[in-house]
Amino acid sequence: MNIIQTEIADILVIEPHVFKDDRGFFYESYNERVFLEKVDITEHFVQDNHSYSTKNVLRGLHYQIQQPQGKLIRVVSGAVFDVAVDLRKSSSTFGQWIGTNLTAENKRQLWIPTGFAHGFLVLSAYAEVLYKTTNYYAPQHERTILWNDPNLAIAWPIQTKPILSAKDQIAKLLPDAEVFA
């Protein structure tokens, strides 16, 4: 497994060791012992999520202000541009974001600890995204920051208007959002 540090120290890109031959491939997408030793992820995962989205669907930027979730994200079909935004007010990287391409081909995973908003844009005809979470979904605590908030200036790789859910269309700007201490 190869661990790639990002500009925000707590966000990691994880490249698994993939065994390939003429039959296909195999890799361990998660092994608690290896993640403890190599990645130092000590959180316990309690929920797995699976989403299917079509091209230009943008989901996010989501987070839970209480019962916050760390997320381990990967794509099993298609490609997405995945984004994490630091919402920890006390952090030196507050309001900064990391974006990376996660694809079925590169098999990379993104580790986003608690204290971050998360979103992704589908780049392929469709994409299936799997992610493990460290806390249960709590809709009463879910918050959303506007995907194109000028305070964040995320460089989404899109030329047209994205396809958004109703809740993502009415999301808040960072200065008006609840954030973490």
Helix (H) or strand (E) holding 10: none
With beta carbons less than 8 A apart as the criterion, state whether 50 and 133 touch.
no
With beta carbons less than 8 A apart as the criterion, state whether 36 and 58 touch.
no
44 is in an annotated binding site: no
Structure tokens at 141: 């605590």
59 is in an annotated binding site: yes
Active site residues: 62, 131
7 is in an annotated binding site: no
167 is in an annotated binding site: yes
Helix (H) or strand (E) holding 33: helix 32-34
- With 0-12 / 13-18 / 19 or more C-beta atoms within 10 angstroms meaning exposed / middle / buried, residue 98 is buried
28 is in an annotated binding site: yes
106 is in an annotated binding site: no
140 is in an annotated binding site: no
Structure tokens at 74: 């990967």
Q: Which of 14, 3, 113, 116 is nearest to 61 (CA)?
A: 116
149 is in an annotated binding site: no
Binding residues for substrate: 23, 28, 47-49, 59, 71, 118, 142, 167
Residue numbers belonging to the annotated binding site: 23, 28, 47-49, 59, 71, 118, 142, 167
